[in-house]
Structure 1
């Protein structure tokens, strides 16, 4: 039981980093961020297949994580969207410098949690 509590503390510390960024961030937005961090260069279509979310939902979450969010509002600037050189219809997703810093901070919180 004590080990489970320790693991929960680590998960809470990890998620707290996202709350610092945006106290109302949706869980699926954080999930999309982590999937992009795990597989940089992936596409929105890849995210659809991994999560089971619709194309619209994945695009909306990617927009929230990019520099320009929904309806032209500022995004979090954690993810950069780049046009694929071989297929200009495809957009590949990468972490920005800020995205890498947020990931590093979240992982540090995870490692240091009791």
Structure 2
């Protein structure tokens, strides 16, 4: 009497004789923390680039249209504040924070350069 070899299942199929191990809750928490940081860095840098672009555009407005340069500088500051607020919101921190003042920096520098 010959014995047949056991049937091999493909690796991508579930094996009822060898269930998967439960994921480590600590590993899941670490993964979520990394994902949060990656998302916040991407969002903040993208919006800061928009803010910097507006600040740079304010420098190239004609000298007789200073109000347009100031308007672009105000928009640069507003988007800077939005960038910081987005980072705070992603990390579930209070949106009322002294860090929002950091968002005003592109606008303030741009206004200074427009008016000098």
Give the alignment's TM-score, normalised by structure 1: 0.30
Q: Which has the larger radius of gyration?
A: 2
Higher RCO (CA 8 Å, separation ≥ 6 residues) = 1
Higher relative strand content: 1
